[in-house]
Structure 1
Amino acid sequence: MYTKNQVSKTKQAFWTIFGQYLKPVPSAEGAKVQWQNYKTGIKKIFFRMRAEKDFASISIEITHPDPDVRELFFDQFEQFGKLLEMETGESWEWEKEAVDEYGGALKRIGKRLEGVNVMNEEDWPAIISFLKPRIIALDRFWANVKYGFEGLV
């Protein structure tokens, strides 16, 4: 078992390495971007990357408190679903009804890698190899579709 402090320090070290690894990579629009804390520019739409003790994941999370607005955003993403698949080169899992770690309702579109452990540094290359191309592809996708979300709310 790991202490909370060990988990926190290890995750911090992982995300620091991940950030350094992606630092020279510009966004699809040529701007400097902090990949591990990606800003979509649309309130309540987040690109989340997680590295845990038994999986790694990347997702689009729609967390708007109004369920109708969440649905509207999710529907808009569905309209752009083929473009997402084209940019990432794969299909992602679409969750109409999900909850966050605090029990809050959200909608999620994501991809997950099972069998990796952020606490094991030997798994870091696999986690980075999973996350890196997907966040870059997600950025390319977002550069093409974000304007379709600006006037929705």
Structure 2
Amino acid sequence: MYSRQEIAQKKEAFWTTFGRYMQPITPAGSDKVNWINYKTGVPGISFKMDADSKRASIAIVLNHIDPAVRRQHYEQILTLKHLLRDATGEDWTWEPEVHDDYGKVYSRIGTVSIGHNILEPADWPALISFLKPRIIALDEFWSNTRFAFEL
């Protein structure tokens, strides 16, 4: 069993390592990218990577404060589903309405890998191998489609 502080330190060490792995990767667009905290530039649309002691995930999260705009963003991305599939080479899970523990509603398009433990450095290569190609694919997808979402 790890203390909260140990868990936080291990997670920080993983994300630092992942950031170093991603540093030499050139983004698809002309903008500089912070791979760990990817900014789409569109309010209410973000790319989220997460890992814990059981799984890793990567997703497009739609959480605009206005539910109508959130639904519109979801529908827009749904029309681009084939481009996301082409970029990632995978079929991701599409969730038009997700409720978090606090009752907040958001939409998510993502994928999960089970059996990876961020607290075990021996699992880090597998976690990196899962996350790296997918965030690069999301960057490629976004560089080709983001203009559809800009006002």
Tell me whether the two structures share a fold, i.e. TM-score over 0.5. yes
Shift of 1:33: 1.6
* Cross-structure match for 1:137: 137
Instruction: Give percent identity, aligned residues only.
Output: 48
Q: Gaps (5+ residues) in structure 2? A: none
TM-score (norm 2): 0.96
Partners of 1:100 and 1:128 in 2: CA distance: 26
TM-score (norm 1): 0.95
Shift of 1:97: 1.1
Shift of 1:100: 3.5
**Count of aligned residue pairs for this structure pair:** 151
Shift of 1:34: 1.2
* Cross-structure match for 1:98: 98
SS of corresponding position for 1:27 = coil
SS of corresponding position for 1:34 = coil
Q: Gaps (5+ residues) in structure 1? A: none
The runs of at least 4 aligned residues of structure 1 exceeding 6 Å deviation read: none
Judged with a 3 Å threshold, the aligned counterparts in structure 2 of structure 1 residues 101 and 14 are, in CA distance, closer, same or farther, namely farther
* Cross-structure match for 2:18: 18
Partners of 1:113 and 1:141 in 2: CA distance: 21
**Aligned Cα root-mean-square deviation (Å):** 1.1
Shift of 1:30: 4.4
Shift of 1:139: 0.2
* Cross-structure match for 2:73: 73
Moved more, 141-150 or 94-103: 94-103
